[in-house]
Amino acid sequence: MNPNYRISPLHWGFLFAPKDKPIERGDVRRDSILWHIRTDDRRQNPWVFETRIVNHCLSETLVARVLIAKFERADDAVRIGFILGRLPIRQNDINFTCRVWTIDAIHSLHALRLVNLHIPLVMLEETISKFSRKHQHKMVDLRDDSSSSHDERENKHSAILDLRE
């Protein structure tokens, strides 16, 4: 989140990450994969698919994580990345966003039986949006509260919504 902007718009994407483990200060290990679409004003097409290797525990902008599947094998990441990288990006649709792409992707993964959720797919967007906004507001309140400890402000990765069946 941009500290100069009280409540930023949320950005949606996929994070393939190992089960949380304690992280030491200064640990710069990059053991997670982020797949998302983002805007790129320098290109002819406004939306670009991107894959990045990240350390999600050190993210300054991660608001919430929504668990949609558990994968056991390392090559699962290759398979998921292959599928996500081939999803349509509707460049000429003014209503198309990273949120729309992510929901479309979850529907595709569900159709391929890679994801089974305990809520109906029609409730997915609303459920995730409400959860993420609620946690985003908590993060802003903690950041603005001078009485909150540094550890409370740093512990922003605890918001997890588990939708797995």
Mean pLDDT of all residues in 123-136 = 90
Question: Taking the alpha carbons of 46, 52, 54, 56 in that order, is the dihedral positive or negative?
Answer: positive
Rounded-to-integer distance, Cα 122 and Cα 37, Å: 22
Give the residue, 111 or 153, on which the prediction is more confident: 111
Summarize the chain as % helix, strand, coil (round to 5). Answer: 35, 15, 50
pLDDT value of position 24: 61
Burial readout 43-62 (b: 16 or more C-beta within 10 A, e: otherwise): eeeebeeeeeebebbeeeeb
Domain residue limits at 118: 14-162
The most confident of 55-69, 107-121, 124-138, by mean pLDDT? 107-121
With beta carbons less than 8 A apart as the criterion, state whether 102 and 14 touch.
Answer: yes
Domain assignment present for residue 110? The answer is: yes
Q: In what order do the strands lie in the sheet with 32-39?
A: 14-16, 32-39, 47-54
pLDDT at 4 over 50: no
With beta carbons less than 8 A apart as the criterion, state whether 4 and 18 touch.
Answer: no
Domain assignment present for residue 106? The answer is: yes
Domain assignment present for residue 150? The answer is: yes
pLDDT value of position 16: 86
Residue 37 burial (C-beta neighbours within 10 Å; 0-12, 13-18, 19+):
buried
Domain assignment present for residue 3? The answer is: no
Percent of the chain with pLDDT over 90: 35
pTM of the predicted structure, to 2 decimals: 0.79
* CA distances from residue 95 to 21, 74, 126 in whole angstroms, order as listed: 38, 35, 17
Domain assignment present for residue 97? The answer is: yes
The most confident of 20-24, 54-58, 150-154, by mean pLDDT? 54-58
> How many structural domains is the chain composed of?
1
Domain assignment present for residue 5? The answer is: no
pLDDT digit string, tens, across residues 72-94: 777 888 999 999 999 999 998 99
Give the residue, 102 or 11, on which the prediction is more confident: 102
Domain assignment present for residue 107? The answer is: yes
pLDDT at 154 over 90: no
Domain assignment present for residue 111? The answer is: yes
pLDDT band at 153 (very low <50, low <70, confident <90, very high): very low
Rounded-to-integer distance, Cα 68 and Cα 14, Å: 10
